[in-house]
Amino acid sequence: MQELDLASEILIDISGNDVEFAEALRKKFQADVSIRPLRSNVAGLVGCELRHHLLFTFLLNPLAPDWTAEEKSYAALVLANEYFFKRYKSEDIKAALKLKLGDAKFALLAPLFEKSGKPEEYIPATVARNSDQYLSLRYNTPEWVLKIWEHYGYGATYRILRKNIRPLVSSLRVRTDLLKTEDLVKNPDFKPTPVSDLVTYVGKTPLRRLDEVKQGKLFLEKAALKKVLDEFKIKEPCEALCFNGNADDAILKEFIVSYGSSVGLNLGVYNVDKYVEVSKLIKSLNLHNINFYSAEDPLAMDAAISRPQDLVVACPNSSNFDLIREYPDYLMHFKKDGMDSLFAKEKACLEGCSKYVAEGGTLIYMIFTISRKEGHQTLAEFVEHHSEFKLVSESQLFPYEDLDTAMYYAVLKKEPKLAKVTPPLADLAKASVPQVAVSAEGAAAK
């Protein structure tokens, strides 16, 4: 069965070679034009397995401890079809699996196949229903991630998990210089949102094929991101700085589209060469007020920033748990052992950006994740060491809320320095009297 063979090769590339889902698909189907008609169902089957990967691994490991990676991948994919996907005929795909495994190994899977259509039995009864292990298997989330979210309570954790398994609804920013939002929402595929010039897409055509997206009239953007930036928008003659440590360029595009040529903008990233679309956007709009620069270290941006900024946004890379819904293999590739380095970069980004906030200016720290350590704790440590900043507000947003975004952000104001006033000589003389009295009392006491 060609589809099963292709799915197995792609799954092994993802799980064994640490290749991302989209890239593994691209490699396979761009190389051979003849198999492209199979792409949709093959991608769907692999995606289904990835969204239940922890469950299938748990079920297969005791039965197949000595099986090859290829054999396990075939078995997991067929289970994915039997339990959830159901687009391939059961008898056809199971027959193909039997040919791959042989009668003896195939027979070991019979108890698992018998549970098809009985989702309450997919997770063995030996797993306690009130345990983290059960939540992990049911919602395909490692237990170490659950420990991070449980700081917000069981109720919030459960609602996050429930939201994460639902289909992602894409939110799109409307380039109002090219397209009117009120005209776009006349199309039933686009729905208005409470955030201005942001719509959700509910159509069937993949976003990459939409004319409006290909023409640059729409781009993906998180609702919470735009809402926060709209709330703290500045006006001429102010100047703004944004450092973006994420691969996602939406925050940079938002600054460009929202402000145009109205204020000076300093947009920093680790490497501008990785943000080709941003450079193209600046050039297409013929904007000369934007300083788009590379900074390998956010703590050393003096050469790029010429004056204090009225608005500074520090948006470092983070654990980015908001991406779990977007990429079925996101947590499979996540490097847990690299989290300490990640935390250090978040702190460096906040520290580095804070140096350029003008007196009375606003500093916003923003990360797209759900993590008390990366959010509240990092911010609290910063405020403790920077008395010049006053915390105005901080918020942890959850994907099950109206803005449909996992995001932490904090807003701080830089307090003006108190002016030093030299008191008159007469006042200085008066001020010295109590000191003498205290000294005298001290002498008497001795």
DSSP string, 352-374: HHHTTEEEEEEEEEEESS--TII
What pLDDT score was predicted for residue 423? 55
- For the record, the structure tokens of 119 come out as 């989702």
Crossing angle for the helix pair 250-259 and 223-231, to the nearest 10 degrees: 40
224-414 in CATH: which number? 3.40.50.150
Task: Please enumerate in sequence order all residues whose Cβ is within 8 A of that of 222, keeping only pairs 6 or more positions apart, or say none.
Answer: 171, 250, 322, 368, 403, 405, 407
As a whole number of angstroms, the distance between CA 230 and CA 228 comes to 5
Give the residue carrying structure tokens 């003659």. 237
DSSP letters along 72-88, please? HHHHHHHHHIIIII--S
- Torsions phi, psi for 407 (to 5 deg): -155, 135
- For the record, the structure tokens of 279 come out as 């450079």
Which residue type, as a one-letter code, is found at position 137? Answer: L
- For the record, the structure tokens of 144 come out as 């170490």
CA angle 401, 22, 210 (to 5 degrees): 70
Whether the upstream peptide bond of residue 237 has omega within 30° of 0, thus cis, is yes
Largest CA distance in the chain: 104
Q: Is pTM beyond 0.75 here?
A: yes
194 DSSP assignment: S
Task: Please enumerate in sequence order all residues whose Cβ is within 8 A of that of 389, keeping only pairs 6 or more positions apart, or say none.
Answer: 354, 357, 363, 382, 383, 412, 413, 414, 415
Pairing type for strands 198-201 and 170-174 reads antiparallel
> Please, what sign has the CA dihedral across residues 215, 218, 221, 226?
positive
What is the phi-psi region of residue 334: left when phi exceeds 0, alpha when psi lies from -120 to 50, beta otherwise? beta
Is residue 283 within 8 Å of 308, Cβ to Cβ? no
Is residue 374 within 8 Å of 318, Cβ to Cβ? yes
CATH class for the domain made up of 2-122:
mainly alpha
As a whole number of angstroms, the distance between CA 340 and CA 124 comes to 35
CA angle 68, 27, 368 (to 5 degrees): 90
Per-residue model confidence as pLDDT tens digits over 335-376: 999 999 999 999 999 999 999 999 999 999 999 999 999 999
DSSP letters along 147-185, please? HHHGGG-HHHHHHHHHHHTSPPPEEEEE-TTT--HHHHT
Per-residue model confidence as pLDDT tens digits over 22-66: 999 999 999 889 999 999 999 999 999 999 999 999 999 999 899
Is residue 19 within 8 Å of 13, Cβ to Cβ? yes
The parts of the chain modelled with pLDDT lower than 50 are 420-421, 428-446
Task: Please enumerate in sequence order all residues whose Cβ is within 8 A of that of 339, keeping only pairs 6 or more positions apart, or say none.
Answer: 319
